Amino acid sequence: MQEELKAIQEEALATLEQINDMKELQALKVAYLGKKGSLTQVLRGMGKLSPEERPVVGEIVNQVREAITKAIDEKSDLLEKAALEEKLKEESIDVTLPGRPVKVGGPHLLTKVIEEIEDLFIGMGYEVREGPEVETDYFNFEALNLPKNHPARDMQDSFYITNELLLRTHTSPVQARTMREYKGEKGFKMICPGKVYRRDTDDATHSHQFTQIEGLYVDKDVKMSDLKGVLNIFAKKMFGEDRNIRLRPSFFPFTEPSVEMDISCKVCHGEGCSVCKGTGWIEILGAGMVHPNVLEMGGYDPKVYSGFAFGMGPERIAMLKYGVSDIRQFYLNDNRFLKQFHQA
């Protein structure tokens, strides 16, 4: 029996030498030390031994078990170390390789122009407001002095959702909403940037969805000269100190009188050239003194309060300022176009 045990030990250690991976090692452990392993088989045979022999053989079995266990553990450590080294080698980084450049994005040109306009008006004491893009017929039209069947509704072909709900055709409903919030109790100045929608066929100068910035100043004693002053500051800050403005009579149902503002052409400064189609001026925005009906529907007494309002299209401003020739560029998400303005 002692011979047998020695043979098992030798065989086990010899096999161990050949082993190169954890799976085989595990199999070997089971083969020798497991429940059905060779060493356990020998132990089973101990019952046949005499009482004197038993402790002697028991001692040897223990020694063999220890020797095999120790050898297995050592091999296991070795294999683990080797595996780790292999992994480190595989995952090692060549720090001398040039890095891959990280592509940095930037705000959309339209976002930048809107923020620039916001900053300008915030500097003049205006608060920035928002309103819903799905608007009621009441706020989009009626509260702006455009009753149902008013012909001027045709100026803004609309996307209706129900009879009473539509995608707002302009940011002017926020005029009515803001007046309501202030309950006719005090003056205020606000601008409201946002998306608007019209049933237009998209081309270089039309888009079924675009943005507007509305402006409204209501207080006691607001005059047309105040409007002209503010628009003049806006034009000079936005386009350059050398630009002039002019106001032309126009019509909007919610302002009276209504005007259209032009700025002098940056190429010919008013002389007339191909850029301004010979007129010397470029149209920028619509504005006017808030119509008494609109003030009244907003809860303001038109005998005490007056106001001016203006509305402009940031796309148009951006097109003029940065020489963009097609409004669709703002919505195509063509990175070749967009990235030109990341540093601008």
Residues that bind ligand PHE (CB under 6 A): 170, 172, 214, 252, 255, 286-288, 309-311
Measured in degrees and rounded to the nearest 5, phi and psi for residue 114 equal -60, -45
Select 32 or 252, whichever has its Cβ closest to ligand PHE: 252
- 256 in a labelled binding site: yes
CA–CA separation, 190 vs 175, rounded Å?
9
Select 5 or 231, whichever has its Cβ closest to ligand PHE: 231
SS3 assignment, position 263: strand
CB contact at 8 A, 190 and 213: no
Smallest distance from the beta carbon of 169 to ligand PHE, in angstroms?
7
Smallest distance from the beta carbon of 156 to ligand PHE, in angstroms?
7
Select 172 or 207, whichever has its Cβ closest to ligand PHE: 172
Q: Could you tell me the end-to-end alpha-carbon distance of the chain, in angstroms, rounded to an integer? A: 92
CA–CA separation, 202 vs 327, rounded Å?
9
CB contact at 8 A, 171 and 214: yes
Select 5 or 167, whichever has its Cβ closest to ligand PHE: 167
Smallest distance from the beta carbon of 338 to ligand PHE, in angstroms?
26
Query: How many Cα atoms occupy the beta-carbon half-sphere of 56 within 13 Å?
Result: 8
Smallest distance from the beta carbon of 147 to ligand PHE, in angstroms?
16
The residue with its CB nearest to ligand PHE is: 311
Q: Taking the alpha carbons of 115, 117, 120, 123 in that order, is the dihedral positive or negative?
A: negative
Annotated binding site for Mg(2+): 256
Annotated binding site: 256
